[in-house]
Chain A
C-alpha cells in the first residue's frame, strides 16, 4: 500500500537534547512538508522541500532542521534551540509543489518534553 509513515508515534525529549522525527513516503511524490499542530491553532508550516537536496523554511522554522537526501525521506530534527517543542508533528507530501496540489498526511508524531 502506498502512503506516508512517521515514526515514532510518541517521542520524549529531555532538556538540551536534539531529537529526530522520521517521515517516509512511497508515493513517488516530489514535494514534502512538515507541519506543527498545537491545540486551537491549526497547523503551521515548519519546512518544505520541493525536490531532493532542496528545502526551504516555512513560517516557524526556528529551532528545527531538515534534510532531503532521498526522494522518499524527509526527517525533521527538533534542536535544543526549540524552547517549546511539545506538539503534534505532521508530515505531508504532494505530487508536485504547485499551488492547488493536494497534500497527503502521515499519522503524526507526538513530541513530549520530560
Chain B
C-alpha cells in the first residue's frame, strides 16, 4: 500500500520568505501525487498534481512541486510567502483499490504560519 510522510506538522515563515513543505511517499508503482490546501473549516482545494511527464509541476497561487523519484519526494515550494498562504497543506498519493476505484492516501498535514 502507498503511504505519505509530511515532515513538520507546523512550519513558520516570514512574509516574503521561501516556503518549503516536505512530502515523501512510498509506492510500489509509479505514483500519482497531489498537494491540497485547506483553510480553516473549509474543504480541500487542489494546488497541483503530478501524473507523468515533466517533474516540475506548477500549480495555483505561485506554488510548485518537484517530483524526485530517486529521493521519493514531492516537496512543495513557493518563492515568496504571502499572509494569505497561511493554511494547512496536505500531500496525497493516489492508490488503486482492488476491484476498481481510486483512494487518496493523505499525509498528516503541515500547518503553515506566515508572520509579518
Contacts and interface: CB of A to CB of B under 8 A. Distances in A.
Contacts of B43: 4, 6, 90, 105-108
Contacts of B49: 102
A48 interface: yes
B41 A103 contact: no
Most buried by B among A41, A42, A50, A94: A42
B110 to A, nearest CB: 11
Nearest to B29: A99
Interface string A38-57: 00111111001010000010
Contacts, number: 69
A2 interface: no
A16 interface: no
18 contacts: A4-B43, A6-B43, A40-B9, A43-B90, A43-B104, A48-B103, A56-B99, A56-B101, A88-B41, A90-B44, A97-B100, A98-B102, A99-B94, A99-B95, A102-B46, A105-B45, A107-B42, A108-B41
B102 A94 contact: yes
Interface in B51-102: 51, 90, 94-97, 99-102
Contacts of A15: none
Contact of B102 (A40, A88, A97, A105): A97
A97 B95 CA distance: 11
Interface size class of B (residues with CB under 8 A): 20 to 34
Interface in A19-75: 31, 40-45, 48, 50, 56, 58-59
* Across the A-B interface, the 5 shortest Cβ-Cβ residue pairs: A42-B106, A100-B32, A105-B43, A99-B96, A105-B44
B99 A110 contact: no
A106 B42 CA distance: 8
A42 B108 CA distance: 4
A97 B90 CA distance: 21
Contact of A58 (B42, B103, B109): B103
B102 A99 contact: yes
A100 B104 contact: no
